[in-house]
Amino acid sequence: MSLFKLFDITGRKALVTGAGRGIGRVLALALAEAGCDVSILVKDIKSAESVVKEIQQLGRKGMAIQADVTRKEQVDKAFAETARELCHLDICVNNAGISIQKPAEEMTEEDWDNIMDTNLKGVFLCCQAAARIMIPQRQGSIINIASLSGIAVNVPQRQAVYNASKAGVAMLSKSLAVEWAQYGIRVNSISPGYMKTEMTMSSMAHLFQTWESLTPMGRLGEPEELRGAVLYLASDASSYMTGHDLVVDGGYTAR
């Protein structure tokens, strides 16, 4: 197989969670541009309408399904609908997540449950649903979005529970990779560093200068800079990689 053919995912079927905006939207469009039909799973269906149109403008089939990743029955139904409409599922990107910045001593039990249910339980439920489709196929790539926050303690913001949830995503990915390797399913994670997303731009811009000073490259990343990572993990170029956490953080965790 030629070098460029290794990265060719034309005709494959993908599902991306939390793709109404931010990193999820960028990754969904990247997969569509690379030739995939893409189903996006979102909690707010209105946020997905423009993304589906953009996917279709790239010449690929796009569809949106409203589902809460913390609800197993909704997840299972969404994945079944995706597999039915797209005929199968080759790539699953689990991006949906939330963050709450609050001192640990002030973190409520409800805060804990909301973060853990979305960021960790939600990833597990989506991985499980994807695997049940991929196991009979004997192939598939699952890519979970973790974070540098699962590797290093962020400052100056306080987000212990978020950090713990993202560390859990990376370890869950490794564990599932070992279990499902026998079925030809690869499970990896991507740990982005600080990114200029709608969320950070609107509510955390006052921290940018501090974050940049702690990042060896001296700047925040753009969500588009994660496209190469997801293409690599989704394609045959990473055929012997599973259980890996691919860090894309401008050198933050290398300090």
pLDDT in tens, 85-106: 999 999 999 999 999 999 999 9
Q: CA–CA separation, 143 vs 127, rounded Å?
A: 9
Task: For each of the domains in the chain, give its residue range(s) and CATH number, in order of start.
Answer: 3-249 (3.40.50.720)
Looking at every residue in the chain, the average pLDDT score rounds to 96
**234 contacts 14 by C-beta, under 8 angstroms:** yes
- Who contacts 207 (Cβ-Cβ below 8 Å, separation ≥6)? 156, 157
State which amino acid sits at residue 54. Answer: E
Number of other CB atoms surrounding residue 137 within 10 Å: 14
Catalytic-residue membership of 13: no
| pLDDT value, residue 99 | 92
**What's the token pair of residue 148?**
């540098």
DSSP, res 235: S
Q: Are strands 62-66 and 37-42 parallel, antiparallel or unpaired?
A: parallel
- From 51, 145, 168, select the one nearest 95 (Cα to Cα): 145
**3-class DSSP state of 101:** coil
In 3D, which of 139, 152, 142, 158 has the Cα closest to residue 94? 142
Could you tell me if 32 and 55 are in contact, meaning their C-beta atoms sit under 8 angstroms apart? Answer: yes
High-pLDDT (> 70) share of the chain, %: 98
State how far Cα 32 lies from the chain centre. Answer: 15
Given a cut of 80, whether residue 36 has pLDDT beyond it is yes
What are the DSSP E strand ranges found in the chain? 13-17, 37-42, 62-66, 91-94, 140-145, 185-192, 245-248
Is there a catalytic annotation at residue 183?
A: no
Which of 47, 141, 147, 191 is catalytic? The answer is: 147
Structure tokens at 104: 């640990």
**Environment class of 13 (CB within 10 Å of its CB; exposed 0-12, middle 13-18, buried 19+):** buried
Average pLDDT, integer, range 20-35 = 97
pLDDT in tens, 190-208: 999 999 887 676 667 788 8
Q: At what angle do helices 122-137 and 160-180 cross, to 10 degrees?
A: 10
User: Catalytic annotation on 147?
Assistant: yes
Alpha carbons 55 and 150: distance in angstroms, whole number: 31
Q: What is the pTM of this model?
A: 0.97
Chain mean position to CA 130: 13
